[in-house]
Amino acid sequence: MKRAQIKSRPLKDTVLNSLEPEEKEYRELDGNGLYFRVKPNGNKSWQLRFKNAEGKWAWRGLGPYPTINGAAAREKAFEMQKALSNGEMLYTQEELKIQALESNNALFSQLMSDWLNSKEPNWDADTFKKEKQSIEKHLIPVFGEREYLKITSQEWFEFFQTMQRELQIYNRIEKLTSYCRNAYDLAKFQGKINFNPLDGINKFLDKGESDNMKHVSIEDLPLLINTIRTYPSRTVAIGLELLALLFPRPQELRYATWDQFDFDKKIWIRPSSIMKRGIAHAIPLSNQAIVLLKELETFKTPSNLLFPGRGSLIEPISDNTFNQALNRLGYKGKQHPHGFRHIASTALNNKYSDKEQVVESTLAHLKKGVKGVYDKGAHYEERVGMMQWWADEIDRMTNTP
């Protein structure tokens, strides 16, 4: 029946049973603050309207119909109104839900703690420590005390996109989004949630430059280095090994000029004009890098470029030269010149897990506001040791005397 046909209240059972849904949900007064709610899908339930502790009107669900019939609903409403008149607190369904969530440790910090506990048996101690520190540094201060069910997809997207654009730490953010998504998935399979707010987030975040750059694993790097050393063009082989040792962007090495290098100070200063962020940046030169550069110097032409193009003094080698060399060595689809940055990043982050921003600076992922190559924000002195460690590590892996 239509609700316009209701003629008396309290509502009779025949009325409750036959009330038809409408395009929008509606409530019909039964009496004494008790309402009968009808949703567009036909679901029916009881609600009590009351004034909360702040004197504002609020709703408290009493249960679905016909599980709760008219007589039972009126009895429950009477008991609640009696409790209210005696000064007892009555909570809304939303307030009760929050209380239940809190009692079940539904804070985001607990969600991540549960997930980390599930990963600890499968990760080595150093990895676990590093990733736990990263979560505690980037995520917990912002979301730790929030109920994870209430953190929206929009909030997650805006948070990670802002981090990307301000810090330029794409690889780290890729890991953090993965960890959050997996933590929510764990809660989903435990029956705590039905929806993961981070599903599909990586489709819409900015793409870091190394995302699609192929690279071999750290375990396969020694074979790659030794294979590079056999390449027939010695200058190209030196260039590839310098990409592994110094891990610049390939364009930065192709456009490098001899006047940017100071062997006495063991430094390569790259001008702002060739840098992605438009900030001059220095690379400390390891002993091994200087040996290679001095060998490359024996092939020097009248050009100031380290790698001049064929028949040119002002144009460098093609942007495909290094890639073609790797293809000819059998690494097509396995290793891209840019991929050496990813390999080095992984190794340095594993070794220096407590110096994440120093590693990012080593990769020239400089924060906004860094003024120059020796600015303290560039962490230059700390990077000297990092670069030498990485060169020594490559020697160790390749059994180089």
The predicted model gives 320-348 an average pLDDT of: 92
Long-range (24+ apart) CB contacts under 8 A made by 84-91 are 84/50, 89/53, 90/50, 90/52, 90/60, 91/60
- Say how far apart CA 92 and CA 60 lie, in whole Å: 5
Please give the residue that has the higher pLDDT: either 259 or 379.
259
Position 361 pLDDT exceeds 80: no
Evaluated on CA atoms 316, 320, 324, 325, the torsion sign reads positive
Higher pLDDT, 93 or 376: 93
Q: Which helix (H) or strand (E) holds 125?
A: helix 125-138
Q: What is the mean pLDDT of residues 185-195?
A: 90
pLDDT of residue 369: 47
Span 96-101, average pLDDT:
57
Domains of the chain and any CATH numbers: 3-91 (3.30.160.390), 108-203 (1.10.150.130), 218-398 (1.10.443.10)
So what's the pLDDT on residue 98? 56
- Average pLDDT (135-163) is 93
Lay out the sheet containing 261-262: strands in order across.
Answer: 261-262, 267-270, 281-284
β-strand partners of 69: none
Q: Where are the alpha helices (DSSP H) in 247-285?
A: 250-254
Q: What does the pLDDT read at residue 170?
A: 78
pLDDT at 331 over 90: yes
Q: Which two tokens stand for residue 390?
A: 């990485």
Distances (CA, A) of 287 to 21, 235, 277: 80, 18, 27
Q: Is pLDDT larger for residue 26 or for residue 281?
A: 26
Q: Determine the pLDDT at residue 276.
A: 56
| Contacts of residue 148, Cβ cutoff 8 Å, sequence gap at least 6 | 106, 107, 108, 111, 184, 187, 193
Report whether 50 contacts 58 (CB < 8 A): yes
Measured distance CA(182)–CA(176) in Å, rounded: 10
Confidence at residue 267, expressed as pLDDT on a 0 to 100 scale: 94
pLDDT-based confidence at residue 379 (cuts at 50, 70, 90): confident
Q: Is pLDDT above 90 for 231?
A: yes
Section 110-118 average pLDDT: 93
Q: What is the pLDDT of residue 133?
A: 92
Q: What is the mean pLDDT of residues 75-90?
A: 82
What mean pLDDT is predicted for residues 105-115? 88
Q: Amino acid identity, residue 31? A: G
CB atoms within 10 A of CB 129: 13
* Model pLDDT, residue 368: 45
Strand segments, DSSP code E, in 124-214 are none
Residue 17 pLDDT > 70, yes or no?
yes
Q: Is 367 helix (H, G, I), strand (E, B) or coil?
A: coil
Mean pLDDT of 124-131: 82
- Three-class SS of 281-324: EEEECCHHHHHHHHHHHCCCCCCCECCECCCCCCCECCCCHHHH
Average pLDDT, whole number, for the chain?
87
Task: Indicate if the pLDDT at residue 312 is higher than 90.
Answer: no
The confidence score (pLDDT) of residue 377 equals 46
Of these ranges, 12-16, 106-110, 187-191, 236-240, the one predicted with the greatest mean pLDDT is: 236-240
Model confidence over 250-305: pLDDT tens digits?
989 999 999 999 999 999 998 876 665 556 778 999 999 999 999 999 999 999 99
**188-215 average pLDDT score:** 81
Read off the pLDDT of residues 29-61 as tens digits, 9 standing for 90 and up.
999 899 999 999 999 999 999 888 778 888 888
Tally the residues of the chain: 401
